Each structure stands twice: as structure tokens, then as C-alpha cells.
Amino acid sequence: MLPVERLKQAADNTLSNKVIFTEGFAYGPDEGYFPLRKNIANWLSRYYAPAQPISAERICITGGASQNLACVLQVFTDPAQTEIIWLVEPTYHLVFWIFEDAGFSGRMRGIPEDEEGMDVAALERALDAFERSGDSASQDDQKKRHKPHRPYRKIYKHVIYCVPCFSNPSGTTMSHSRREALIRVARKYNALVVADDVYDFLSWGVTHPAKPVSCPQLRLVDIDRVIDGGPEDRFGNVVSNGSFSKLIGPGCRVGWAEGTEDFIHGLSQAGSTRSGGAPSQLTSTFINELLEDNFLPEYIANIIVPEGRRRHCLLASAIKTHLGHFGVSFTPDPETNPVAGGYYIWIQLPAVLTATQVCQEALELQNLVLGCGETFAVPGGNAPGGDLHRRLRLCFMWEDEGRLVEGVGRLGLVIQSILTKVR
Ligand SMILES: Cc1ncc(COP(=O)(O)O)c(C=O)c1O
């Protein structure tokens, strides 16, 4: 699915044009390569159709969602003032280290999710309990800071992390009403919502299988622009973390962030960006070509989405065939969800099995690597009542079709062998 030929051509065109390559090889502007910012803004405006079009000034170029999360925390949090990082649980596990590197070790808390995404009422209760507990920094402590005052930023008191569409690992999509509630809670508690919007474009439906459906929901960042009269201050309460990693390839290391113009300017003033300019400047000039002539949106629609849907359906049907009779269930099911997408299927094992045991035996007996549910638990701050010990994450986008089916067949043999021993 990698668009090798088109990217080769884009690199060749770019490196043959002196005006473009001179800019590409240089330290770029802090906000990133302007033509790419502009083209991303136009593309997002078409795809999400927000109430107001998205301007280039709302976008800055990043080195991908992970690198950008680190920059967001560098600029907009201070471990002396920012209290807690609230994460939907299960959550994308590789963000834990990023939060720890930013000074938040031991200060992450999991909030459970259901079929509508993060349980925002539970989040609000937890925030309220925290604020009342006396653990919250006193007025005096609030005056302490590790980071200097800067006119281009504010320090948020809390951070809320989520993957609103086709979440990693559970594939869940947050409903519109939850999104609105989340923004209101974020405003009430001076929290920044970091929305990893990296799977939004990988969206398919059952009714028009060959066609991509538009994103099932408005993004949090779009809602923050309009709800209750718009943002409460010039920075707003949401940053959207976008990435080309799941659309072109993660090795590109190019993504974008969207927020209010002031937030985006502040983000572009992270120390490492001011020193070197926006990351991935040369690659930005290549990727810009793929948007300039609308190649990428068409490629997503005609190649990635139909193939993703095919693989999703194939994996789902293999699970039903090979694992259903053991009592294994899963979400999202492409047969019953009007809109599904992303990369993952989230499996629930029958109560007699644990994910750890299945993963261990799968590796030993079948050389099969699975995503163990507990990997996605927030360290030191689990949401109550979770069932991660019975969960597995399977990815349908990485392996070829034949290997997906074979893998599930082998997982069936592993489960069979454990059940024979247990019974
Ligand atoms: C939710 C989520 N955010 C971020 C990333 C990493 O994105 P990037 O390659 O843009 O750093 C991933 C990759 O799996 C992901 O699932």
C-alpha cells in the first residue's frame, strides 16, 4: 500500500526545482513549510467541513504525532504547575514515556471508555475529587514554576489525552455528545485536550463498502471553535495531532498540529523548533506535492480505504470462524457498525483465559506476537473495573491478507491447547 512511485516522482520534481529545494534543504520557518500548511488546511477543510474553513495559520508542521506531543508538553505544561495527565483507558501505550519524559511520572490516571468513547462523567468526577482532595497545588505552590514566563504560551493545569476516532487499541469512536461534554469539562478545569486524530481518514462503512465515508464525527478541535461562543481564551482547550504516518508511512516523520492561531504560534516556539525550524522540512516539500494535485486524498479513497476495509472484514470473519466457538468476541465488527475504521480489532477472551497466558503461549507455541490487553493500561493509575487482563489487540493493517487469516487460525490452536489443559 506504500505510494512508492508517486513519492519517488515527488522527490524528483522537488529536487529538480531550485526554488523548492533551496527552501527544502534550509532551516525552515518555525511553523513549517508554508505551501504544505496551506494544502493541509484546504484538505482538512474539505474533509471535515467545519463551520468555518481552516486557515494555514491554524496549522503547524510537526515530526509526527509522537514528536509533537513532546513539543506540546514542553511548551504548554510545567510539572510544577500542571497537575495530572488524564488518559482514556485502554490507551495508546507509547505515549506513557512521552509524559514521563515531560516530568509526569506517577501522575497519569486512566479514565474508562465505553462504546461512546471516554467516560466524560467519570473524568469530571475524578477531576472534581482531585481538586477537592488537597492534592492539588496550593496557591503558593502554583507560583512555583520550572519554566519561564513566555508571552506566547499558557501553562494548563491538566492534560487530557485521547484518540477520538478508531482509537488505538480498542477501535472505539467518541460520540458527538461526549466530545461536547469533554470540551466543557476541559474548560472548567483549565485542561488541554490532546486529540491524536491519526486514524480519522481511515474510515469505511458497510453500506458503501468501496467508498470512504467522511469522518464520522467533527473533531474536538472543530467543536472547540464554536461551542458556547468559542474558546474561552486565545489558546483554546484542544490541539489536534495529525500525522502522515498511517497514510503514507511512518518513516516520513511528518505530521501537523491544529489549534487556535495563538496556540499554533506558541507550539512553533518550542526551543528545538526555534533552533532548527520545523521538523522534517525536506520531506515536507515532497509530501506537499502529494496534496498539491490531490493525489493523497484520492489514494486514500481508492487504495487505502478499500484495502483497509477488506482486511478488516477478513480478520473479523476469521475471528468468527476460528475463535467464535471458544466464546471470543470483538469490536468493532465491520458487519454491524455503520462506520468503522482505523487499524485494530479489540478482542475479549472468555473468562477462563487471561491475555498474558494467551500471549505467552502464542509466542512459545506458534511464534505469534499479540498485543496483550494490559500493555494498554495507564501505569500506576488504572481506571476501576477494567477488563484489560482479558483483552487482545489485533492489527489488520500491518500483515498481508493471507497471513491475517493464518495468524487467527494459529491463535485458535493456542486457545484450544490452553483450554484442553484448563478443562
Ligand atoms: C494513537 C496514536 N498516536 C500516535 C501514533 C504515532 O504517530 P506518529 O508516527 O505520527 O508519531 C500512533 C501509532 O501507532 C498511534 O496509534
Instruction: Count CB neighbours of 282 within 10 A.
Output: 17
Element (H, E) at 181: helix 176-188
Q: Is the CB of 249 under 6 A from ligand 1?
A: no
Q: What is the pLDDT of residues 176-224, one digit of tens each?
A: 999 999 999 999 999 999 999 999 999 987 655 555 556 668 999 999 9
pLDDT of residue 186: 98
Q: Domain 308-422 class?
A: alpha beta
The C-alpha cell that represents 237 in the structure block: 482547550
How far is Cα 228 from Cα 268, in angstroms, rounded to an integer? 28
Q: Are 120 and 182 in contact (CB under 8 A)?
A: yes
pLDDT at 302: 94
Q: How far is the CA of 65 from the centre of ligand 1 (A)?
A: 6
Residue type, 381: G
Ligand 1 atom 4, closest CA = 65
Decide whether any atom of ligand 1 lies within 6 Å of the 245 Cβ.
Answer: yes
Q: pLDDT tens across 272-315, in order?
A: 999 999 999 999 999 999 999 999 999 999 999 999 999 999 99
Rounded to whole angstroms, the Cα distance separating 316 from 210 reads 17
Q: Is the CB of 182 under 6 A from ligand 1?
A: no
- Predicted local distance difference test score (pLDDT) of residue 212: 52
| CB distance 163 to ligand 1 below 6 Å | yes
pLDDT value at residue 205: 77
Collect the ranges in the chain with pLDDT lower than 50: none
Task: Among 93, 196, 376, 398, name the best residue to mutate to test ligand 1's pocket (greatest count of ligand atoms within 8 A of Cβ).
Answer: 196
344 Cα to the center of ligand 1, angstroms: 13
Q: Which pLDDT score is estimated for 423?
A: 73
Give pLDDT, residue 338.
80
**Ligand 1: does its nearest atom lie under 6 Å from the Cβ of 250?**
yes
- Quick check: CB of 297 below 6 Å from ligand 1? no
- The response to whether residue 66 sits with its C-beta less than 6 Å from ligand 1 reads yes
Kindly state if the Cβ of 372 falls inside 6 Å of ligand 1: no
DSSP conformational letter for 194: E
The rounded Å distance from CA 168 to ligand 1 centre is 9
The answer regarding whether domain 4-296 maps to CATH 3.40.640.10 reads yes
**Which among 94, 199, 241 is the best mutation to test ligand 1's pocket, defined by most ligand atoms within 8 Å of the CB?**
94
pLDDT of residue 206: 65
pLDDT at 141: 63
Tell whether ligand 1 has an atom less than 6 A from the beta carbon of residue 168: yes
Ligand 1 centre distance from Cα of residue 318 (Å): 26
In the chain, which segments carry CATH 3.90.1150.10? 308-422
Question: What pLDDT is recorded for position 161?
Answer: 98
Mutation pick for ligand 1 pocket among 91, 97, 244, 246 (CB with most ligand atoms within 8 Å): 246
Cell of 65: 504525532
| Residue 108 alpha carbon to ligand 1 centre in Å | 19
Could you tell me the distance, in angstroms and rounded to a whole number, from the CA of residue 376 to the centre of ligand 1? Answer: 14
128-134, Cβ contacts within 8 angstroms, sequence gap of 24 or more = 130/83, 130/84, 131/189
Number of H helices, E strands in the chain: 16, 14
Please indicate whether residue 280, judged by its CB atom, sits closer than 6 Å to ligand 1.
Answer: no
CB under 8 Å to 62, separation ≥6 — which residues? Answer: 32, 68, 71, 241, 243, 254, 255, 256, 257, 278, 279, 280
Measure 270 CA to ligand 1 centroid, in angstroms.
20
Q: What is the structure's pLDDT at 335?
A: 82
CA of 247 to the centre of ligand 1 (A): 11
Atom of ligand 1 nearest to the CA of 244: 10
